[in-house]
Amino acid sequence: MLELLPADAVLSWVRDGAGLVGWGCVARLDVSGPNRFHQADAWWRDLCQQIEVADSVGLPGCGPVAFASLAFADQPGNSVLIVPEVVIGERDGVRWITTIGDGSAEPLPPEPVRPPGTVSYSDGQLSTTGYRQAVAEAVRRMRQPGDLDKIVLAHDLLASTSEPLDARFLLHNLAARYPTCWTFAVDGLVGATPELLLERMGYEVRSRVLAGTVWPHEGHTSEQLAAELLASAKNRSEHAYAAESLAVRLRPFCSDLTVQSEPEILQLRNVLHLATNVEGKLSEVSAHGPATLLRMVAAVHPTAAVGGTPTAYAVRMIAELEGMDRGRYAGPVGWLDGSGNGEFGIALRCAQLEPTATPDGEAERGGGRVRLFAGGGIVPDSDPDMEVAEAEAKLLPIREALEGIR
């Protein structure tokens, strides 16, 4: 499906070769602040009521679709919903095309994907050294009497390319190396996330919670690493925080909710994670109001997997210790349709394509600039050097994609 995308303004949510891609823009919402989810939900439902739909396929993702990427924090950060002019979808072996407008926006032969040339790296807003210091300070605070049990910290890395950056180059390379992840692109945020925050299909809701990580190192087989991860009290505790955090917030929307009793291992090329599946059936009536996907996403975000425990306190500490604007990194990213279906992951293993500018403010011709993100969950017995190494392992997917490794 990715091979169908044109060069500009690409939108993607693809896993194992199926999903949705889109381009063009017939409607867009930019919103920020603590009410961003509810404002986006109201805008989307109002817009869908104004659209006359002819849908002969009837699968989730048919009809009007919005691609969405929401900021991690209440402030700062811009959240966006984009309704593309053209969507191509594939599910259960069925492929379809949705257009909005007069139907004249047919797919055109895409231009060749452009490589980015030479890639060089430099410190972002929070350097590796600064990240290590932030982790050490978080550990020091958690080892003192207080309420903080876990905090999820991250840092960024800047990449510059000698040629203009084609988002499709990243998407193709990420999909080739991480086919079981959700490869996404929304408004310049590109990545391949292994973590499904929420999926709604009719009255069924599903999540896959990830927390607790090891990464390949010399002298250890995959089986040894998996056994080490399952036996790690630190990682099991961190994972339990995350799974319980999501289940507690999702349960009020459900008449039935099942949480996997024991975590399983999710193995990727660069890391192994503990994973827990959560499945529920939505109630006809919820004390939290309509169980729309965006309202449920608002209720569960951020989970302990990307925030910490207790979450509200941890998120305040993240802003203090990192001292950087995460933007939409670690925020919800995905799609929703006019029937209430959709999928949202957590924007991990990702990068924000940033416009470069000359001193006079005009767009710069030539190379591109990308801001990469990675981090991990910090608990009282975390080792700062090990956390730095974990973040480096999590940067590999985007670095390798930028460098053309498949």
Residue extents of the structural domains in the chain: 2-109+116-402
User: 379-406, pLDDT tens digit by residue?
Assistant: 999 999 999 999 999 999 999 999 998 7
Cβ atoms of 325 and 125 closer than 8 Å: yes
- For the whole model, what pTM was predicted? 0.93
Element holding 15 (H helix, E strand): strand 11-15
- Would you state the pLDDT for residue 217? 78
Residue 328, pLDDT > 70, answer: yes
Residue 144's Cβ-count burial label (10 Å; 0-12, 13-18, 19+) is exposed
Residue of 195, 199, 238, 343 with catalytic role = 195
Residue of 106, 150, 364, 392 with catalytic role = 150
Reported confidence tier of residue 107, pLDDT bands at 50, 70, 90: low
Residue 358, pLDDT > 60, answer: no
pLDDT, the chain, mean: 92
Average pLDDT over residues 60-77: 92
At position 399, the amino acid (one-letter code) is: R
- Would you state the pLDDT for residue 43? 98
Reported confidence tier of residue 100, pLDDT bands at 50, 70, 90: confident
CATH architecture for residues 2-109+116-402? 4-Layer Sandwich (3.60)
Average pLDDT over residues 116-123: 96
Residue 46, pLDDT > 60, answer: yes
Sequence-distant (≥ 6) Cβ neighbours of residue 93 within 8 angstroms: none
350-354/119-123 β-pairing: unpaired
- Would you state the pLDDT for residue 326? 92
Active site residue 394: no
Percent of the chain beyond pLDDT 90? 79
Residue 209, pLDDT > 90, answer: yes
Nearest by Cα to 47 from 344, 295, 289, 337: 337
Residue 264's Cβ-count burial label (10 Å; 0-12, 13-18, 19+) is middle
Position with higher pLDDT, 322 vs 241:
322
User: Residue 101: which region, alpha, beta or left (left: phi > 0; alpha: psi -120 to 50)?
Assistant: left
Residue 24, pLDDT > 60, answer: yes
Position with higher pLDDT, 342 vs 245:
342
Active site residue 150: yes
- Would you state the pLDDT for residue 366? 64
Reported confidence tier of residue 287, pLDDT bands at 50, 70, 90: low
- Would you state the pLDDT for residue 208? 96
Cα–Cα dist 13/342, whole Å: 11
- Would you state the pLDDT for residue 363? 44
- Would you state the pLDDT for residue 385? 96
